[in-house]
Structure 1
Amino acid sequence: MSQFHLKRGSPDEEFPDLCRNSTWMGRILTPAMYRRQFHRCTHSGVIFDDVIRPGLEEPGDRSGPVSVGCVAGDAQSYILFCDFFDRVIEAHHEHKITSQTPESDFNYDNLKGGGDLDKLYAVRCEASVVRGVDDFCFPTHCSRGERRHLLSLARRALQRLNDDELPGQLFLLEELNPEQKRELNLNPPSSSQLRIGVARDWPDSRAVWVSKDGSLVVWVNMEDHLRLVSTRDDANIAEAFKCICINLQKLEDFYRELRHPFIWKQQLGWVTSSPADVGTGLRIRVHLRLQHLPQHKRLQDILKRLRIRMDKTEYPALYHVSNMATFGVSEVGLTQLVVDGVKLLIAMEKRLKDGRDIDELVPTQK
């Protein structure tokens, strides 16, 4: 691919205004670091300004969770701009990058609990994982041809999954009717997604595969090359996690046979476009019905100690609880963090409902 020769000034002239930027990018980037990255360019044409654009488009809010504020345009970005990305990853995940290979554990039998949450409080759960496919740029930077090739690979791999005891159907987004889009909670791309390029040529070559039994959904060419999601209305995290583990490993084998394995970096684990997802790419989310705990003065301290986050939903007294990081802990370990955290939050909610104190339940700092 030919390189774009932009008419840019010196690094000092081009350095962005980060005074009101609350992202990790804005907190970490210095003029000296910017100068070191300024003239670098990956083989596919990613420059450092492409990397930091998300944080410039959406500088964040000091009162909310800190976003990473950056994306990788391709896998080489994590190597070429490593002195920047490594610092962002360590800050966001609160885990030091070392020469050791990140721990991985897909043995769902090692998970303790997760199928026994109190259904009066835990109303729904979701396990999801993202993967990048080797030899292709990430969605923020890939061409139409790459995206169409990725869809072709996904068709073949998902057909293998379809033939291997999990029948399903692939739908192209451009062919979905309004009712199908509502059922899939599919919204048009945001203005931010359009500006940073992830929604370029929408909906060309975007697709969703849905298993016949509804246990698994696979999104193709959305914010990442692949995103697997298992949702359960009974809040059985153990079963949702098991579904992800089994089918992700099958797809990994299929893609390897197609000579396009998932992208793995020795010190980071699995990598995709966002440094917020490196390591495992795994998100475990539980929908909790809470009335008393969200108003407790120690809530934020409790969540930090549990290494989980809690976000409001559009429904009163319903909250999303999920893992904060994806790096530094194995897949089973991350799921266990959420399971144990949710159980403790439910126990606290019950105590507060009865007018009792929760101080003795607050965990020691991890």
Structure 2
Amino acid sequence: MFLPKIHIRQLRCLPKQLFLRQFCKCASQVPPEVLEELEQGFEDMKECDSKSLLKKHLTKERFDKLKDKTTPTYNSTLLDCIRSGLKNPDSGVGIYAPDPEAYSTFSDIFDPIIEDYHGGFKKTSVHPPTCFGFGSDFPNLDPDNLYIVSTRVRCGRSIKDFPFNPCLSKCDYNVLDSIITDALLNLSGEYSGTYFPLCGMEKDKQQELIDSHLLFKEGDRFLKDAKATRYWPTGRGIYINDNRNFLVWVNEEDHVRIISMEKGGNLGAVYERLILGENQLSKQLEFSRDKRLGYLTFCPTNLGTSLRASVHMRLPSLADDKAKLDKMAAKYNLQVRGTRGEHTDAEDGVYDISNKRRMGLTEYEAIQEMYKGIRALIDHECQEAAKACKK
């Protein structure tokens, strides 16, 4: 088993954990109170005006088939997967995987949601091998800095032999934090930097990092209801390189979020930095990867490449008609969000626009698809601006 160096004070809790995970793979019975909450939540969801993929695909037949199941190692239930979606009818997706085994144990609900979200990735589909390609293939999208404020590319990773947030103990968080930070502090060259644990971080420092769009925020209700914020801020933190253009989030939604960013629209440079940074980390950490689904993550929207390339950009003409912007973005498999991401508003007319598909295509193809889509949005905006000048 892959077991990186960890602190002696955290070694005490490992033998029991590893023994249980390797040898005690026996599903347990779903407690009556969990079944009761599931039944009530399912009935409430049927009556509410939810547009979530969970409501769309969780039929009565599927519900009855899955409600008594648990995952072999971690005993996660269907409720652990859909609790957040049941409590938040405004969820776009409404389901999370509490542990890697959930994707197979509850495949009857995960598979149709994955196919719907990722544009036809069927239960018989197989995600291709990793292929990053070269960032130099993508010239600057906005060399005159007229539309794009900043560019960011990130990917999520989970550490092999650990469950996802809802199943992590406080000790697990500390062990993961130690394993991951040991690797981060070995980064060299332009990736050299400093790790800032959330525990003990001054509030002013925390807010400064949030305001600079570097640090994640606490209090996401969707993650909270999925039990993904337990023991906060234990084991959470952020690594920032000296140039402040390469970040790693530790134990926020996924075990690891690798992020490359900079001002302007030079997607190729940002992508190349991510490729080389991920490569350095993958030599030190063993990431969870499934033969069919690709890289495994807490949220099924991030499976496969787990790659999300986004720009903060202003599109004055398109933004006047949000429905038109959304329709055009969908044509190129792009997703439009508020300035600070999902479930936020556009601040000062700045939208976060990113690739939506992450499965069934390589990392290179995902970036290529996003590049073409953003190029098309800019071209359309230029045409609209030219029309306005003629009036």
**Aligned partner (choices 61, 70, 73) of residue 32 of structure 1:** 61
Stretches of structure 2 that go unaligned for 5 or more consecutive residues are 1-19, 340-345
Find the aligned partners of 1:94 and 1:327 in 2 and give their Cα distance.
8
| Alignment-derived partner of residue 107 in structure 2 | 82
Query: How much does 1:99 deviate?
Result: 4.6
Give matches, 1:219-258, under 5 Å: 219-255=249-285
Query: How much does 1:336 deviate?
Result: 1.5
The alignment partner of 1:184 has SS state of helix
RMSD: 2.3
Q: 1:188 aligned to 2:213?
A: no
Query: How much does 1:107 deviate?
Result: 1.8
Query: How much does 1:67 deviate?
Result: 1.9
Query: How much does 1:51 deviate?
Result: 0.5
**Residue deviations 1:315-345 (CA, integer Å, cap 9, x gap):** 2322211111211221111112222211221
Deviates more, 1:313-322 or 1:7-16: 7-16
Find the aligned partners of 1:164 and 1:316 in 2 and give their Cα distance.
36
Deviates more, 1:236-245 or 1:7-16: 7-16
Deviates more, 1:36-45 or 1:164-173: 164-173
Find the aligned partners of 2:329 and 2:313 in 1 and give their Cα distance.
14
Read off the aligned partner of 1:241 and give its amino acid letter. Y
Find the aligned partners of 1:237 and 1:57 in 2 and give their Cα distance.
37
| Alignment-derived partner of residue 9 in structure 2 | none
**Aligned partner (choices 150, 155, 174) of residue 129 of structure 1:** 155
**Aligned partner (choices 124, 127, 133) of residue 107 of structure 1:** 133
Read off the aligned partner of 2:383 and give its amino acid letter. R
Give matches, 1:268-283, under 5 Å: 268-283=293-308
| Alignment-derived partner of residue 363 in structure 1 | none
| Alignment-derived partner of residue 327 in structure 2 | 301
Q: Are the structure 2 counterparts of residues 191 and 4 from structure 1 closer, same or farther at C-alpha, using a change threshold of 3 Å?
A: farther
Query: How much does 1:118 deviate?
Result: 4.0
Q: TM-score with structure 1 length normalisation? A: 0.87
Read off the aligned partner of 1:216 and give its amino acid letter. F
The alignment partner of 2:269 has SS state of helix
Percent identity, aligned pairs only, is: 26
Read off the aligned partner of 1:308 and give its amino acid letter. L
Deviates more, 1:348-357 or 1:234-243: 348-357
The alignment partner of 1:329 has SS state of coil
Number of equivalenced pairs: 346
CA contact (8 A) 1:95 1:327 kept: no
Read off the aligned partner of 1:32 and give its amino acid letter. E
Find the aligned partners of 2:87 and 2:40 in 1 and give their Cα distance.
19
Query: How much does 1:121 deviate?
Result: 0.9
Find the aligned partners of 2:239 and 2:40 in 1 and give their Cα distance.
47
Q: 1:335 aligned to 2:364?
A: no
Read off the aligned partner of 2:290 and give its amino acid letter. K
Read off the aligned partner of 2:314 and give its amino acid letter. R
Q: Are the structure 2 counterparts of residues 164 and 295 from structure 1 closer, same or farther at C-alpha, using a change threshold of 3 Å?
A: closer
Find the aligned partners of 2:135 and 2:266 in 1 and give their Cα distance.
14
Find the aligned partners of 1:318 and 1:114 in 2 and give their Cα distance.
19
**Residue deviations 1:109-140 (CA, integer Å, cap 9, x gap):** 47332465441111111111111111111012
CA contact (8 A) 2:136 2:269 kept: no
Deviates more, 1:312-321 or 1:230-239: 312-321
Find the aligned partners of 1:216 and 1:207 in 2 and give their Cα distance.
14
The alignment partner of 1:175 has SS state of coil
Q: 1:174 aligned to 2:204?
A: no
**Residue deviations 1:82-111 (CA, integer Å, cap 9, x gap):** 121111100111122335342432122473
**Residue deviations 1:190-209 (CA, integer Å, cap 9, x gap):** 34433321111110111111
Q: Are the structure 2 counterparts of residues 277 and 298 from structure 1 closer, same or farther at C-alpha, using a change threshold of 3 Å?
A: same
| Alignment-derived partner of residue 57 in structure 1 | 87
Read off the aligned partner of 1:204 and give its amino acid letter. T
Q: 1:346 aligned to 2:378?
A: yes
Q: Are the structure 2 counterparts of residues 112 and 165 from structure 1 closer, same or farther at C-alpha, using a change threshold of 3 Å?
A: closer
CA contact (8 A) 1:111 1:332 kept: no
Q: 1:156 aligned to 2:156?
A: no
Read off the aligned partner of 1:205 and give its amino acid letter. G
CA contact (8 A) 2:126 2:360 kept: no
**Residue deviations 1:186-242 (CA, integer Å, cap 9, x gap):** 432234433321111110111111111112110111111000111201231111111
**Aligned partner (choices 21, 30, 44) of residue 17 of structure 1:** 44
Query: How much does 1:273 deviate?
Result: 0.5
Q: 1:210 aligned to 2:236?
A: no
Find the aligned partners of 1:219 and 1:82 in 2 and give their Cα distance.
29
Find the aligned partners of 1:241 and 1:329 in 2 and give their Cα distance.
16
CA contact (8 A) 1:93 1:276 kept: yes
CA contact (8 A) 1:110 1:332 kept: no
Query: How much does 1:164 deviate?
Result: 5.6
CA contact (8 A) 1:111 1:336 kept: no
